[in-house]
Amino acid sequence: ILNVEQSPQSLHVQEGDSTNFTCSFPSSNFYALHWYRWETAKSPEALFVMTLNGDEKKKGRISATLNTKEGYSYLYIKGSQPEDSATYLCAEPSGTYKYIFGTGTRLKVLA
């Protein structure tokens, strides 16, 4: 069983601030790393699927990087907006399809 850990557990930032948080995972037998955005009372939605060491993906103001050798991924949000408030989850498959989710980083952007 893999341990996927995320930090910080929660985060409050002011509107306009940039922020980042971390997902750590065991680096052996790496297959893929997923990031999801999960708004309250909704279901998780996929943000990024990252597979290659050094991958950097971007979607609007949100971007993510991947380091498979040291076992971490960063998620960055530039110029945070209140609508970015959500829980951000990362997940790594243990085996091809058995996903292990981190406990998430709860982001609150204050207007």
Partner 1 sequence: DAGVIQSPRHEVTEMGQEVTLRCKPISGHDYLFWYRQTMMRGLELLIYFNNNVPIDDSGMPEDRFSAKMPNASFSTLKIQPSEPRDSAVYFCASIKSGTAYEQYFGPGTRLTVT
Residues forming the site for partner 1 (CB under 8 A): 32, 34, 36, 42-46, 49, 89, 93, 95-104
Q: How far is the CB of 17 from partner 1 (least distance, A)?
A: 26
Structure tokens at 5: 């850990």
Q: How far is the CB of 60 from partner 1 (least distance, A)?
A: 17
Structure tokens at 8: 């910080």
Nearer residue to partner 1 within complex by CB, 44 or 71: 44
Q: How far is the CB of 111 from partner 1 (least distance, A)?
A: 26
Burial 1-33 (b: 16+ CB within 10 A, else e): ebebebeeeebebeeeeebebebbbeeeebebb
